[in-house]
Amino acid sequence: MPKTPAARKHDHFTGRIGMARADITPSVGIYSRNWGAAKHDAADSIHRSLALSALTLQSETEDSPLVLVDGDLGWWRPLDLFKRFQQRILDEFSLEPSRFIFALSHTHSAAPLMDAEPDLEGGELLKVWMDSVYEKTVSTIRKALESSFSGTLDWHVGQCNLAAIRDLPDPNGERFLCGFNPAREADNTLLVGRITDETKTTRAVLVNYACHPTTLAWENTAISPDYPGAMRATIEEASGATAFFLLGACGDLAPRHQYVGDARVPDQHGRQLGYAALATLNDMNAPGMNLEYIETVESGAPLAVWGYRPQQESTQLKAIDFEVELEIKDWPTADELDQQRLDCDDRALAERLRRKRDIRRSLGDGKTFAVSISAWKIGNAVFVGSCGEAYSVLQQELRSRFPEVTVICMNLTNGSIGYLPPAHLYNEDVYPVWQTPFAKGSLERMIDGMTEAIEQLLQPQNHPESPWTNQLGI
């Protein structure tokens, strides 16, 4: 007997949702050197404002919230600085660590997240700015909680061709260059989340996309969010809703045209992603509805009539602690790396050594390091992320392992520490391999760890959450 066609559904969550935004743009003159090839150290202008947005989710008003913060920020120097920042936020809101995600857009044109260094040009301004980032994070989370409403967050899959593979075999040597490789196809998956209120008005649009914000580079001397800034502006102008950016697993992905000083280029990229998100948004079912087969009407042809019917509400929120123990390469100590930096006359190489030293300090002198996984179940969708810069195979593999679930993958959540390239590249001279502190096989261990975390999230509601941290060893 023929079966009724499957309904068109969106994974969703219904409950209390809050959101708010703050401007975290630093002062002109602040230290902002993020490129080894840069000739400048301090920013001399503002391209677009930097945004910090907070999203809070609760099944009921009195429940402890899940708190997601999306910031136009690059990376933490070092990881310990984030740990201190995180603890202050957790104390302020009495949150468990698993219920807080601080996600970076990874713009390479903002002031770095680092302690003040007065010997650097503009370095004395870092403390005031870092203090303001913390204060605005607190006030924005509080405003989101206080302004929460009954709403629905649902998800739909689209695509955008902004991202390209950025591991290019050097035509003049045996190494890989970090730039557009036209011979390979990138993962162009775009996930769009739509938040609507009880009147079916769209209040926010969440964009989960994997592409390095490296359009502006060493020639740029302005503070900029890179392409996520224009993406937000494009979506907000067209929809009237607040736009969030959630960076996907983009270790090997970046725009084709990048490394420029012309601010019109990231604006073009942002519009491309924004329009793709708007197209996906307009391809969604009506809020809170499934599109279902209703009947056949005999006309000149037998017509299959489909219509909207209310979906069953999904109100579950779940957050778990999970860690993956990754093996560390045989690196020099932090003191040895710092001495190498001091002895170095090459400005670009000295910057590499500074960053490598900071990573080593965060890792300690052990042979392994426990990397935390952010793992949430929001209704019947799943969020997973880590502080690493995973290659896009991570999100492709996780989505293939859980084809019936919307899996939102994020890089650079709750800190930043290093790349996670696939094992086969460890035999090559490629930047992410020699940048990362993690040994061969670490990406594959992270994929397995996230798989186990997702499996725990998908356990039935009557299975109690574990009161201890889960850990996947090496």
pLDDT digits (tens, 9 = 90+) for 268-295: 999 999 999 999 999 999 999 999 999 9
- The number of helices, as runs of H, and strands, as runs of E, in the chain is 9, 25
Residue at 1 is within a domain: no
Residue at 333 is within a domain: yes
Chain mean position to CA 137: 17
Which helix (H) or strand (E) segment holds residue 455: the answer is helix 442-457
- What does residue 280 show for φ and ψ, rounded to 5 degrees? -65, -40
110 and 24 in contact (C-beta within 8 Å)?
no
At residue 469, the pLDDT reads 42
At residue 117, the pLDDT reads 87
Residue among 184, 178, 236 at smallest CA distance from 212:
178
| E strand spans, 160-301 | 163-165, 167-169, 176-178, 189-197, 202-209, 222-223, 242-247, 253-255, 289-298
Number of domains in the chain: 2
Helix%, strand%, coil% for the chain, nearest 5? 30, 30, 40
Q: Is there a single domain that holds both residue 196 and residue 87?
A: yes
d(CA 79, CA 415): 6
Q: Is there a single domain that holds both residue 123 and residue 270?
A: yes
The conformation of residue 107, written as its DSSP 8-state character, comes to -
Q: Is there a single domain that holds both residue 264 and residue 373?
A: no
Residue numbers of the domain that contains 23:
12-281
Q: Is there a single domain that holds both residue 338 and residue 459?
A: yes
Q: Is there a single domain that holds both residue 84 and residue 227?
A: yes
Q: Is there a single domain that holds both residue 159 and residue 237?
A: yes
- The set of residues, in sequence order, having a beta carbon less than 8 Å from that of 6 and lying 6+ positions away, is none
At residue 94, the pLDDT reads 97
Residue at 256 is within a domain: yes
d(CA 414, CA 76): 9
Which of these three, 281, 305, 340, is where a domain ends? Answer: 281
- 106-138 CB burial, b ≥16 within 10 A, e <16: bbbbbbbbbeeeeebbbbebbeebbebbeebbb
Residue at 6 is within a domain: no
Q: What percent of the chain has pLDDT over 70?
A: 96
Q: What is the maximum span of the chain, computed from C-alpha positions, in angstroms? A: 84
For residue 89, the tally of other CB atoms under 10 A from its CB is 18
Which residues are paired to 154 by β-bridges?
12, 194
Residue at 4 is within a domain: no
Which of these three, 253, 281, 309, is where a domain ends? Answer: 281
Spans of the chain, pLDDT less than 50: 463-469, 473-474
Give CA separation, 106 vs 103, 212, 231, 357, in Å.
9, 7, 14, 20
Give CA separation, 104 vs 13, 45, 97, 251, 311, in Å.
24, 22, 17, 14, 33
Q: Is there a single domain that holds both residue 262 and residue 362?
A: no
Q: Is there a single domain that holds both residue 257 and residue 328?
A: no
Residue among 328, 432, 413, 423 at smallest CA distance from 370:
328
Q: Is there a single domain that holds both residue 337 and residue 227?
A: no
Q: Is there a single domain that holds both residue 27 and residue 108?
A: yes
Residue at 131 is within a domain: yes
Q: Is there a single domain that holds both residue 80 and residue 133?
A: yes
Q: Fill in the amino acid letter for 396.
A: Q
Residue-wise pLDDT for 296-337, tens only, equals 999 999 999 999 999 999 999 999 999 999 999 987 777 777
Q: Fill in the amino acid letter for 108.
A: H
Residue at 468 is within a domain: yes
243 and 207 in contact (C-beta within 8 Å)?
yes
Which helix (H) or strand (E) segment holds residue 361: the answer is helix 347-363
Q: Is there a single domain that holds both residue 272 and residue 321?
A: no
Residue at 301 is within a domain: no
d(CA 450, CA 388): 13
